[in-house]
Structure 1
Amino acid sequence: MALQRIALGLCYDGATWHGWQKQPSGRTVQDQLEKVLSQFLAEPISTICAGRTDTGVHALSQVVHLDTRAHRTQESWLRGINALLPPSISVQWAKPVSSEFHARFSAQNRRYVYVLRNARIRSPLWHGRVGWVYQPLVLEHMRQAAQYFLGEHDFSAFRAAECQAASPVRTITQLDIHQKDELFIFEFSANAFLHHMIRNLMGSLVYVGMQRQSPDWIVHLLQQKDRHLSAPTFAADGLYLAGVDYGEQHGLPQSTALQLCQQHLGISW
Protein backbone atom coordinates (compact mmCIF):
# COMPACT_ATOMS: atom_id res chain seq x y z
CA MET A 1 0.00 0.00 0.00
CA ALA A 2 1.07 3.61 -0.59
CA LEU A 3 2.71 5.51 2.24
CA GLN A 4 0.37 8.04 3.85
CA ARG A 5 0.91 10.72 6.48
CA ILE A 6 -1.44 10.92 9.45
CA ALA A 7 -1.76 13.77 11.95
CA LEU A 8 -2.96 12.98 15.48
CA GLY A 9 -4.25 15.31 18.18
CA LEU A 10 -3.18 14.19 21.66
CA CYS A 11 -4.20 15.05 25.18
CA TYR A 12 -2.07 13.84 28.09
CA ASP A 13 -1.43 14.23 31.78
CA GLY A 14 2.32 14.75 32.01
CA ALA A 15 2.59 14.32 35.78
CA THR A 16 3.77 10.70 35.57
CA TRP A 17 5.88 11.01 32.40
CA HIS A 18 9.45 12.22 31.87
CA GLY A 19 8.41 14.67 29.18
CA TRP A 20 7.62 14.08 25.52
CA GLN A 21 10.96 13.15 23.94
CA LYS A 22 12.21 9.56 23.84
CA GLN A 23 14.68 8.57 26.55
CA PRO A 24 16.50 5.34 27.47
CA SER A 25 14.15 4.95 30.45
CA GLY A 26 11.17 4.62 28.12
CA ARG A 27 9.05 6.67 30.52
CA THR A 28 8.10 9.38 28.04
CA VAL A 29 4.93 10.14 26.10
CA GLN A 30 6.70 9.58 22.77
CA ASP A 31 8.06 6.20 23.89
CA GLN A 32 4.62 5.04 24.96
CA LEU A 33 2.82 6.41 21.90
CA GLU A 34 5.26 4.89 19.40
CA LYS A 35 5.10 1.53 21.19
CA VAL A 36 1.31 1.53 20.91
CA LEU A 37 1.26 2.78 17.30
CA SER A 38 3.75 0.12 16.23
CA GLN A 39 1.52 -2.52 17.82
CA PHE A 40 -1.68 -1.05 16.36
CA LEU A 41 -0.28 -0.67 12.82
CA ALA A 42 1.92 -3.80 12.87
CA GLU A 43 4.99 -1.90 11.66
CA PRO A 44 7.72 0.25 13.29
CA ILE A 45 6.44 3.81 13.74
CA SER A 46 8.27 7.06 14.47
CA THR A 47 6.49 10.31 15.34
CA ILE A 48 7.25 14.03 15.11
CA CYS A 49 5.52 16.42 17.52
CA ALA A 50 4.65 20.12 17.34
CA GLY A 51 6.43 20.99 20.58
CA ARG A 52 8.42 18.85 23.03
CA THR A 53 6.97 19.18 26.52
CA ASP A 54 9.14 18.79 29.61
CA THR A 55 8.73 16.47 32.58
CA GLY A 56 5.47 17.21 34.39
CA VAL A 57 4.06 19.40 31.59
CA HIS A 58 0.65 18.45 30.19
CA ALA A 59 -1.04 18.77 26.79
CA LEU A 60 -4.61 19.69 26.02
CA SER A 61 -3.81 19.63 22.30
CA GLN A 62 -0.48 18.26 21.13
CA VAL A 63 -0.12 17.50 17.40
CA VAL A 64 2.06 14.73 15.96
CA HIS A 65 2.49 13.22 12.54
CA LEU A 66 3.54 9.76 11.39
CA ASP A 67 3.98 7.90 8.11
CA THR A 68 2.45 4.47 7.59
CA ARG A 69 1.40 2.04 4.88
CA ALA A 70 -1.44 0.72 7.01
CA HIS A 71 -4.96 2.02 6.45
CA ARG A 72 -7.54 2.30 9.21
CA THR A 73 -10.99 3.84 9.48
CA GLN A 74 -11.46 7.06 11.42
CA GLU A 75 -13.18 5.22 14.26
CA SER A 76 -10.47 2.58 14.34
CA TRP A 77 -7.72 5.19 14.68
CA LEU A 78 -9.40 6.58 17.78
CA ARG A 79 -10.83 3.45 19.44
CA GLY A 80 -7.97 1.16 18.54
CA ILE A 81 -5.11 3.38 19.72
CA ASN A 82 -6.89 4.58 22.85
CA ALA A 83 -7.68 1.00 23.88
CA LEU A 84 -3.93 0.35 24.01
CA LEU A 85 -2.78 3.64 25.56
CA PRO A 86 -2.58 4.18 29.35
CA PRO A 87 -5.31 6.34 30.93
CA SER A 88 -3.02 9.39 31.07
CA ILE A 89 -2.71 9.63 27.24
CA SER A 90 -5.53 9.87 24.70
CA VAL A 91 -5.85 10.49 20.96
CA GLN A 92 -8.58 13.09 20.40
CA TRP A 93 -8.62 13.09 16.60
CA ALA A 94 -6.82 11.58 13.58
CA LYS A 95 -6.65 13.01 10.07
CA PRO A 96 -4.81 12.16 6.82
CA VAL A 97 -2.62 15.07 5.67
CA SER A 98 -0.41 15.78 2.68
CA SER A 99 3.23 14.73 2.65
CA GLU A 100 4.16 18.43 2.88
CA PHE A 101 2.63 18.70 6.36
CA HIS A 102 5.12 18.64 9.22
CA ALA A 103 3.92 18.77 12.82
CA ARG A 104 6.83 20.96 13.88
CA PHE A 105 7.88 22.99 10.85
CA SER A 106 4.37 23.68 9.50
CA ALA A 107 3.30 25.20 12.82
CA GLN A 108 2.69 28.95 12.66
CA ASN A 109 1.89 29.56 16.31
CA ARG A 110 1.88 27.65 19.60
CA ARG A 111 -0.46 28.26 22.52
CA TYR A 112 0.05 27.36 26.17
CA VAL A 113 -2.06 27.82 29.28
CA TYR A 114 -0.74 28.00 32.83
CA VAL A 115 -3.28 27.37 35.60
CA LEU A 116 -2.25 28.80 38.97
CA ARG A 117 -4.13 28.33 42.23
CA ASN A 118 -3.81 31.18 44.75
CA ALA A 119 -4.97 29.95 48.15
CA ARG A 120 -3.63 29.80 51.69
CA ILE A 121 -3.71 25.99 51.84
CA ARG A 122 -2.71 23.59 49.06
CA SER A 123 -5.31 21.21 47.64
CA PRO A 124 -4.25 17.57 47.18
CA LEU A 125 -6.96 17.15 44.53
CA TRP A 126 -5.21 19.72 42.30
CA HIS A 127 -1.74 18.26 42.96
CA GLY A 128 0.31 17.94 39.77
CA ARG A 129 -2.31 19.75 37.69
CA VAL A 130 -2.06 23.38 38.78
CA GLY A 131 0.67 25.61 40.14
CA TRP A 132 0.21 26.96 43.65
CA VAL A 133 1.06 30.21 45.42
CA TYR A 134 -0.19 30.99 48.92
CA GLN A 135 0.84 34.67 49.05
CA PRO A 136 -1.89 37.02 47.73
CA LEU A 137 -1.44 38.01 44.08
CA VAL A 138 -2.33 41.38 42.53
CA LEU A 139 -3.92 40.69 39.15
CA GLU A 140 -3.50 44.19 37.71
CA HIS A 141 0.22 44.27 38.50
CA MET A 142 0.72 41.00 36.64
CA ARG A 143 -1.33 42.25 33.69
CA GLN A 144 0.82 45.40 33.51
CA ALA A 145 4.00 43.31 33.58
CA ALA A 146 2.65 40.95 30.90
CA GLN A 147 2.36 43.81 28.41
CA TYR A 148 6.13 44.24 28.35
CA PHE A 149 6.58 40.71 27.04
CA LEU A 150 4.41 41.27 23.95
CA GLY A 151 6.18 41.56 20.60
CA GLU A 152 9.62 40.45 19.45
CA HIS A 153 12.31 40.35 22.14
CA ASP A 154 15.56 38.69 23.08
CA PHE A 155 14.41 36.34 25.85
CA SER A 156 17.89 35.38 27.09
CA ALA A 157 16.81 36.22 30.66
CA PHE A 158 14.06 33.58 30.37
CA ARG A 159 15.75 30.60 28.72
CA ALA A 160 17.18 27.52 30.43
CA ALA A 161 20.96 27.12 30.56
CA GLU A 162 20.64 23.90 28.53
CA CYS A 163 18.46 25.54 25.83
CA GLN A 164 19.74 24.52 22.39
CA ALA A 165 17.86 27.11 20.30
CA ALA A 166 20.08 28.95 17.83
CA SER A 167 18.53 32.30 18.71
CA PRO A 168 16.94 33.66 21.90
CA VAL A 169 14.64 35.95 19.90
CA ARG A 170 10.95 35.05 19.97
CA THR A 171 7.68 36.87 19.24
CA ILE A 172 4.89 36.69 21.83
CA THR A 173 1.55 37.59 20.27
CA GLN A 174 -0.67 37.01 23.32
CA LEU A 175 -0.20 37.02 27.08
CA ASP A 176 -3.56 37.38 28.80
CA ILE A 177 -4.26 36.75 32.47
CA HIS A 178 -7.73 35.84 33.75
CA GLN A 179 -8.98 35.24 37.27
CA LYS A 180 -11.71 32.75 38.17
CA ASP A 181 -12.16 32.81 41.95
CA GLU A 182 -8.91 31.36 43.36
CA LEU A 183 -7.59 30.31 39.94
CA PHE A 184 -5.45 32.49 37.69
CA ILE A 185 -5.26 31.39 34.05
CA PHE A 186 -2.37 32.66 31.91
CA GLU A 187 -2.68 32.39 28.12
CA PHE A 188 0.55 32.46 26.08
CA SER A 189 0.84 32.50 22.28
CA ALA A 190 4.07 32.80 20.30
CA ASN A 191 5.72 31.65 17.09
CA ALA A 192 7.89 29.38 19.29
CA PHE A 193 9.15 29.14 22.87
CA LEU A 194 12.60 28.57 24.32
CA HIS A 195 13.38 25.77 26.76
CA HIS A 196 11.65 26.55 30.10
CA MET A 197 10.67 29.97 28.72
CA ILE A 198 7.06 29.97 29.93
CA ARG A 199 7.96 28.64 33.36
CA ASN A 200 10.60 31.38 33.66
CA LEU A 201 8.11 34.04 32.52
CA MET A 202 5.69 32.69 35.12
CA GLY A 203 8.29 32.96 37.87
CA SER A 204 8.81 36.65 37.14
CA LEU A 205 5.09 37.38 36.74
CA VAL A 206 4.42 35.77 40.12
CA TYR A 207 7.17 37.88 41.71
CA VAL A 208 5.37 40.95 40.38
CA GLY A 209 1.99 39.62 41.54
CA MET A 210 3.36 39.14 45.06
CA GLN A 211 4.69 42.73 44.88
CA ARG A 212 8.27 41.59 45.31
CA GLN A 213 9.01 43.52 42.12
CA SER A 214 7.25 46.30 40.20
CA PRO A 215 5.76 45.65 36.75
CA ASP A 216 8.49 47.62 34.95
CA TRP A 217 11.10 45.22 36.36
CA ILE A 218 10.32 43.15 33.27
CA VAL A 219 11.80 45.89 31.07
CA HIS A 220 15.05 45.70 33.03
CA LEU A 221 15.21 41.91 32.66
CA LEU A 222 14.65 42.05 28.91
CA GLN A 223 17.34 44.70 28.53
CA GLN A 224 19.92 42.95 30.71
CA LYS A 225 19.45 39.53 29.03
CA ASP A 226 20.79 37.79 32.13
CA ARG A 227 19.00 34.67 33.40
CA HIS A 228 20.52 35.12 36.86
CA LEU A 229 18.59 38.37 37.38
CA SER A 230 15.10 36.97 36.82
CA ALA A 231 12.96 34.85 39.16
CA PRO A 232 13.43 31.09 39.65
CA THR A 233 11.82 28.69 37.20
CA PHE A 234 8.20 28.08 38.21
CA ALA A 235 6.68 24.62 38.74
CA ALA A 236 5.71 22.54 35.70
CA ASP A 237 2.46 21.38 37.33
CA GLY A 238 0.09 23.97 35.86
CA LEU A 239 1.53 24.19 32.34
CA TYR A 240 -0.49 22.85 29.38
CA LEU A 241 0.22 22.90 25.66
CA ALA A 242 -3.14 24.25 24.53
CA GLY A 243 -3.00 24.23 20.77
CA VAL A 244 -0.93 24.60 17.62
CA ASP A 245 -1.98 26.77 14.68
CA TYR A 246 -1.30 25.54 11.13
CA GLY A 247 -3.59 27.76 9.09
CA GLU A 248 -6.64 26.56 7.24
CA GLN A 249 -4.84 24.78 4.38
CA HIS A 250 -4.30 21.56 6.34
CA GLY A 251 -7.88 21.35 7.64
CA LEU A 252 -6.95 20.22 11.13
CA PRO A 253 -9.43 20.53 14.02
CA GLN A 254 -9.00 23.78 15.96
CA SER A 255 -10.20 24.65 19.47
CA THR A 256 -9.59 27.72 21.59
CA ALA A 257 -7.74 27.50 24.89
CA LEU A 258 -11.02 28.26 26.67
CA GLN A 259 -12.82 25.39 24.92
CA LEU A 260 -10.02 22.97 25.81
CA CYS A 261 -9.91 24.07 29.44
CA GLN A 262 -13.66 23.61 29.71
CA GLN A 263 -13.54 20.20 28.01
CA HIS A 264 -10.63 18.66 29.91
CA LEU A 265 -10.26 20.64 33.13
CA GLY A 266 -13.77 21.93 33.80
CA ILE A 267 -12.41 25.50 33.96
CA SER A 268 -14.09 28.46 32.28
CA TRP A 269 -13.58 32.19 32.50
Structure 2
Amino acid sequence: MPRYRLDIEYDGSPYAGWQRQRGQHSVQAALEQAVEAFCGEQVSLRGAGRTDAGVHALGQVAHLDLAREWPADTVRDAVNAHLTSAGETVAVLAATIVAGDFDARFSALRRHYLYRIVNRRAPLALARRQAWWVPKPLDAEAMHEAAQALVGKHDFTTFRSVQCQAKSPVKTLDRLDVTRSGEAIEIRATARSFLHNQVRSMVGTLKRVGEGGWNVSDVKRALEACDRSACGPVAPPDGLYLVKVDY
Protein backbone atom coordinates (compact mmCIF):
# COMPACT_ATOMS: atom_id res chain seq x y z
CA MET A 1 0.00 0.00 0.00
CA PRO A 2 1.89 3.11 -1.19
CA ARG A 3 2.08 6.21 0.98
CA TYR A 4 1.96 9.66 -0.56
CA ARG A 5 3.15 12.97 0.82
CA LEU A 6 1.10 15.97 -0.32
CA ASP A 7 2.44 19.53 -0.17
CA ILE A 8 -0.58 21.80 0.00
CA GLU A 9 -1.48 25.47 -0.37
CA TYR A 10 -4.80 26.93 0.68
CA ASP A 11 -6.77 30.06 1.40
CA GLY A 12 -8.32 29.15 4.72
CA SER A 13 -11.01 31.84 4.66
CA PRO A 14 -13.94 29.57 3.66
CA TYR A 15 -13.04 26.71 5.98
CA ALA A 16 -13.60 25.77 9.62
CA GLY A 17 -9.89 24.94 9.80
CA TRP A 18 -7.77 22.00 8.68
CA GLN A 19 -9.38 19.28 10.77
CA ARG A 20 -12.47 17.42 9.65
CA GLN A 21 -15.50 18.50 11.73
CA ARG A 22 -19.05 17.28 11.67
CA GLY A 23 -21.40 19.75 10.02
CA GLN A 24 -18.62 22.10 8.89
CA HIS A 25 -16.42 22.17 5.81
CA SER A 26 -12.70 21.76 6.42
CA VAL A 27 -9.54 21.63 4.33
CA GLN A 28 -8.99 18.00 5.30
CA ALA A 29 -12.51 17.06 4.19
CA ALA A 30 -12.13 18.93 0.89
CA LEU A 31 -8.97 16.97 0.09
CA GLU A 32 -10.42 13.62 1.19
CA GLN A 33 -13.48 14.19 -0.99
CA ALA A 34 -11.26 15.06 -3.95
CA VAL A 35 -9.20 11.89 -3.46
CA GLU A 36 -12.36 9.76 -3.32
CA ALA A 37 -13.68 11.42 -6.48
CA PHE A 38 -10.39 10.61 -8.20
CA CYS A 39 -9.84 6.97 -7.24
CA GLY A 40 -12.94 5.84 -5.35
CA GLU A 41 -11.07 5.31 -2.09
CA GLN A 42 -12.17 6.74 1.25
CA VAL A 43 -8.97 7.95 2.89
CA SER A 44 -7.99 9.73 6.09
CA LEU A 45 -5.31 12.37 5.67
CA ARG A 46 -2.93 13.25 8.49
CA GLY A 47 -1.71 16.85 8.38
CA ALA A 48 1.44 18.37 9.82
CA GLY A 49 -0.54 21.02 11.67
CA ARG A 50 -4.17 21.67 12.57
CA THR A 51 -4.59 25.22 11.35
CA ASP A 52 -7.58 27.12 12.76
CA ALA A 53 -10.56 28.52 10.89
CA GLY A 54 -9.44 31.27 8.53
CA VAL A 55 -5.72 30.41 8.73
CA HIS A 56 -3.89 29.91 5.43
CA ALA A 57 -1.08 27.64 4.25
CA LEU A 58 1.72 28.03 1.74
CA GLY A 59 3.31 24.70 2.64
CA GLN A 60 1.03 22.43 4.65
CA VAL A 61 2.05 18.76 4.45
CA ALA A 62 -0.20 15.70 4.71
CA HIS A 63 0.11 12.01 3.99
CA LEU A 64 -2.30 9.33 2.86
CA ASP A 65 -2.21 5.65 1.87
CA LEU A 66 -3.80 4.34 -1.33
CA ALA A 67 -4.56 0.73 -2.20
CA ARG A 68 -3.25 1.15 -5.74
CA GLU A 69 0.01 2.77 -6.74
CA TRP A 70 -0.48 5.75 -9.02
CA PRO A 71 2.21 7.98 -10.54
CA ALA A 72 2.76 10.87 -8.11
CA ASP A 73 2.03 13.49 -10.77
CA THR A 74 -1.26 11.76 -11.58
CA VAL A 75 -2.30 11.97 -7.93
CA ARG A 76 -1.42 15.68 -7.81
CA ASP A 77 -3.18 16.57 -11.05
CA ALA A 78 -6.28 14.44 -10.50
CA VAL A 79 -6.85 15.69 -6.95
CA ASN A 80 -6.37 19.28 -8.12
CA ALA A 81 -8.86 18.77 -10.95
CA HIS A 82 -11.54 17.65 -8.48
CA LEU A 83 -10.69 20.43 -6.02
CA THR A 84 -11.06 22.99 -8.79
CA SER A 85 -14.35 21.59 -10.06
CA ALA A 86 -15.71 21.67 -6.50
CA GLY A 87 -14.75 25.34 -6.15
CA GLU A 88 -12.30 24.71 -3.31
CA THR A 89 -9.52 27.20 -2.50
CA VAL A 90 -7.04 24.36 -1.99
CA ALA A 91 -4.23 23.18 -4.27
CA VAL A 92 -1.81 20.25 -4.10
CA LEU A 93 1.57 21.69 -5.02
CA ALA A 94 3.33 18.32 -5.13
CA ALA A 95 2.64 14.65 -4.49
CA THR A 96 5.52 12.33 -3.63
CA ILE A 97 5.71 8.61 -2.88
CA VAL A 98 7.40 8.23 0.51
CA ALA A 99 8.47 5.47 2.86
CA GLY A 100 5.74 3.71 4.82
CA ASP A 101 7.00 5.11 8.13
CA PHE A 102 6.75 8.74 7.00
CA ASP A 103 4.23 10.63 9.14
CA ALA A 104 3.32 14.19 8.21
CA ARG A 105 2.74 15.09 11.84
CA PHE A 106 5.15 13.03 13.90
CA SER A 107 8.10 13.03 11.48
CA ALA A 108 8.18 16.84 11.40
CA LEU A 109 11.29 18.50 12.84
CA ARG A 110 10.25 22.16 12.64
CA ARG A 111 7.24 24.21 11.60
CA HIS A 112 7.53 27.72 10.18
CA TYR A 113 4.73 30.27 10.44
CA LEU A 114 4.33 33.77 9.01
CA TYR A 115 1.99 36.46 10.29
CA ARG A 116 1.27 39.43 8.00
CA ILE A 117 0.18 42.85 9.25
CA VAL A 118 -0.62 45.74 6.93
CA ASN A 119 0.02 48.93 8.88
CA ARG A 120 -1.65 51.87 7.13
CA ARG A 121 -4.56 54.25 7.54
CA ALA A 122 -6.50 53.01 4.51
CA PRO A 123 -8.45 49.77 4.96
CA LEU A 124 -7.64 46.68 2.91
CA ALA A 125 -9.44 46.05 -0.34
CA LEU A 126 -7.48 43.23 -1.98
CA ALA A 127 -5.86 41.55 1.05
CA ARG A 128 -8.83 41.83 3.40
CA ARG A 129 -8.73 38.14 4.35
CA GLN A 130 -4.98 37.66 3.88
CA ALA A 131 -3.58 40.08 6.45
CA TRP A 132 -4.41 41.95 9.67
CA TRP A 133 -5.15 45.60 9.00
CA VAL A 134 -3.79 47.81 11.79
CA PRO A 135 -4.35 51.54 11.16
CA LYS A 136 -2.45 52.80 14.22
CA PRO A 137 1.31 53.24 13.58
CA LEU A 138 3.41 50.34 14.88
CA ASP A 139 7.08 50.36 15.91
CA ALA A 140 8.36 47.16 14.28
CA GLU A 141 11.82 47.50 15.88
CA ALA A 142 10.30 47.61 19.36
CA MET A 143 8.16 44.61 18.47
CA HIS A 144 11.22 42.65 17.35
CA GLU A 145 13.14 43.52 20.52
CA ALA A 146 10.24 42.39 22.68
CA ALA A 147 9.83 39.21 20.63
CA GLN A 148 13.29 38.04 21.65
CA ALA A 149 12.06 37.70 25.23
CA LEU A 150 9.88 34.83 24.02
CA VAL A 151 12.59 32.94 22.13
CA GLY A 152 13.89 29.80 23.87
CA LYS A 153 12.39 27.10 26.07
CA HIS A 154 9.54 28.43 28.22
CA ASP A 155 6.22 27.60 29.79
CA PHE A 156 3.90 29.30 27.27
CA THR A 157 0.70 28.96 29.30
CA THR A 158 0.08 32.71 28.89
CA PHE A 159 0.03 32.28 25.11
CA ARG A 160 -1.98 29.07 25.05
CA SER A 161 -5.69 28.76 24.27
CA VAL A 162 -7.79 27.42 27.12
CA GLN A 163 -8.98 24.80 24.59
CA CYS A 164 -5.42 23.62 23.86
CA GLN A 165 -5.08 19.84 24.16
CA ALA A 166 -1.27 19.67 24.32
CA LYS A 167 0.02 17.62 27.25
CA SER A 168 2.54 20.29 28.29
CA PRO A 169 2.67 24.09 27.88
CA VAL A 170 6.48 23.95 27.66
CA LYS A 171 7.76 24.62 24.13
CA THR A 172 11.03 25.75 22.59
CA LEU A 173 10.61 28.73 20.28
CA ASP A 174 13.57 28.80 17.89
CA ARG A 175 12.76 32.06 16.14
CA LEU A 176 10.43 35.04 16.44
CA ASP A 177 11.46 37.86 14.10
CA VAL A 178 9.60 41.06 13.23
CA THR A 179 10.50 42.99 10.09
CA ARG A 180 8.95 45.88 8.20
CA SER A 181 8.97 46.68 4.50
CA GLY A 182 6.93 49.78 3.78
CA GLU A 183 3.44 49.28 5.18
CA ALA A 184 3.92 45.50 5.55
CA ILE A 185 5.05 43.99 8.85
CA GLU A 186 6.01 40.31 8.86
CA ILE A 187 6.36 38.18 11.98
CA ARG A 188 8.08 34.82 11.44
CA ALA A 189 8.01 32.06 14.04
CA THR A 190 9.80 28.71 14.02
CA ALA A 191 9.53 25.80 16.47
CA ARG A 192 9.23 22.04 16.46
CA SER A 193 5.61 22.46 17.49
CA PHE A 194 3.27 25.16 18.76
CA LEU A 195 0.44 25.34 21.24
CA HIS A 196 -3.11 26.12 20.12
CA ASN A 197 -3.31 29.86 19.30
CA GLN A 198 0.30 30.40 20.41
CA VAL A 199 1.43 32.37 17.35
CA ARG A 200 -1.69 34.54 17.21
CA SER A 201 -1.43 35.20 20.96
CA MET A 202 2.21 36.27 20.65
CA VAL A 203 1.39 38.51 17.68
CA GLY A 204 -1.43 40.23 19.57
CA THR A 205 0.94 40.88 22.48
CA LEU A 206 3.64 42.27 20.16
CA LYS A 207 1.08 44.58 18.55
CA ARG A 208 0.51 46.06 22.00
CA VAL A 209 4.27 46.74 22.17
CA GLY A 210 4.26 48.26 18.68
CA GLU A 211 1.52 50.69 19.70
CA GLY A 212 3.60 51.82 22.69
CA GLY A 213 1.35 50.35 25.37
CA TRP A 214 3.81 47.67 26.47
CA ASN A 215 7.59 47.25 26.50
CA VAL A 216 10.01 44.32 26.76
CA SER A 217 9.57 44.08 30.52
CA ASP A 218 5.80 43.80 30.16
CA VAL A 219 6.20 40.92 27.72
CA LYS A 220 8.60 39.14 30.08
CA ARG A 221 6.18 39.58 32.97
CA ALA A 222 3.31 38.21 30.87
CA LEU A 223 5.36 35.16 29.93
CA GLU A 224 6.47 34.52 33.52
CA ALA A 225 2.92 34.90 34.83
CA CYS A 226 1.90 31.61 33.15
CA ASP A 227 -1.61 33.02 33.16
CA ARG A 228 -3.81 33.29 30.07
CA SER A 229 -5.35 36.53 31.35
CA ALA A 230 -1.89 38.18 31.17
CA CYS A 231 -1.79 37.79 27.39
CA GLY A 232 -2.49 40.58 24.95
CA PRO A 233 -5.41 40.29 22.51
CA VAL A 234 -5.33 37.29 20.18
CA ALA A 235 -4.60 38.37 16.61
CA PRO A 236 -7.22 37.42 14.00
CA PRO A 237 -6.59 34.34 11.82
CA ASP A 238 -6.53 36.28 8.54
CA GLY A 239 -2.82 37.09 8.63
CA LEU A 240 -1.48 33.68 9.69
CA TYR A 241 0.19 31.26 7.26
CA LEU A 242 1.77 27.85 7.75
CA VAL A 243 4.75 28.44 5.46
CA LYS A 244 6.86 25.30 5.63
CA VAL A 245 7.44 22.06 7.52
CA ASP A 246 10.94 20.59 7.87
CA TYR A 247 11.54 16.83 7.94
TM range (shorter): over 0.9
1:87 is displaced (CA, Å) by 4.5
Give 2:180's aligned residue: 179
Match of 2:34 among 33, 36, 42: 36
Q: Is the 8 A contact 1:157 1:226 kept in 2?
A: yes
Give 1:251's aligned residue: none
Matches within 5 A, 1:61-140: 61-85=59-83, 86-140=87-141
In structure 1, what is the Cα distance between the partners aligned to 2:88 and 2:18?
Answer: 16
1:75 is displaced (CA, Å) by 2.6
Give 2:234's aligned residue: 233
Structure 2 spans left out of the alignment, 5+ residues: none
Q: Please list the CA deviations of residues 61-85 of structure 1 after superposition, one character each: whole Å capped at 9, or x if unmatched.
A: 0000001112222331222111110
1:107 is displaced (CA, Å) by 0.4
In structure 2, what is the Cα distance between the partners aligned to 1:226 and 1:204?
Answer: 14
Aligned-CA RMSD value? 0.9
Secondary structure of 2:234's aligned partner: coil
Deviation beyond 3 Å, 4+ runs, structure 1: none
In structure 1, what is the Cα distance between the partners aligned to 2:178 and 2:68?
Answer: 44
Q: Is the 8 A contact 2:73 2:94 kept in 1?
A: no
Q: Is the 8 A contact 1:117 1:133 kept in 2?
A: yes
In structure 2, what is the Cα distance between the partners aligned to 1:202 and 1:43?
Answer: 41
Give 2:16's aligned residue: 18
In structure 2, what is the Cα distance between the partners aligned to 1:129 and 1:70?
Answer: 38
**1:204 and 2:205 matched:** yes
Secondary structure of 1:32's aligned partner: helix
Secondary structure of 1:124's aligned partner: coil
In structure 2, what is the Cα distance between the partners aligned to 1:218 and 1:26?
Answer: 36
Give 2:45's aligned residue: 47
Q: Is the 8 A contact 2:30 2:88 kept in 1?
A: no
Q: Is the 8 A contact 1:156 1:227 kept in 2?
A: yes
Give 1:166's aligned residue: 167
One-letter amino acid matched to 1:221: A
Q: Is the 8 A contact 1:26 1:32 kept in 2?
A: no
1:232 is displaced (CA, Å) by 1.3
Matched residue count: 244
**1:144 and 2:142 matched:** no
Give 1:60's aligned residue: 58
